[in-house]
Amino acid sequence: MQTLAHFGDGGPGPWILFLPVIWALVIGGGIALLRRAGWRGRGGPGRPAPDDHSPITVLGHRFASGEIDEDEYWRRLSVLDEQFGRPGKGGAA
């Protein structure tokens, strides 16, 4: 019985693998593009879920609720930035 992969007998030979490889590259490229664009599923587009217990977040909640004024907020935030640092902030390392 002849199979499609017989090149010498008039079959497509190794070219039969071409279409599945192309589809695998297209699907893999689509997944990579979606991940690069920020699609992460339930976590939201590109942003990690905020840590509700981090000191900077707690300080922001206190300022938003009116427990502290703006001057105290900025003073405490500068101290917390020195301790914990914010990623992506331009500065000397």
DSSP string, 18-74: HHHHHHHHHHHHHHHHHHHHT--GGG-SS-PPP-TTSHHHHHHHHHHHTSS-HHHHH
pLDDT per residue as tens digits for the range 18-76: 889 999 999 999 999 888 887 665 555 555 555 677 888 888 899 999 999 999 999 99
CB 55 within 8 A of CB 80: yes
Reported confidence tier of residue 16, pLDDT bands at 50, 70, 90 = confident
Better-scored residue on pLDDT, 86 or 57 = 57
* pLDDT value at residue 1: 44
The structure tokens 């090149």 sit at: 7
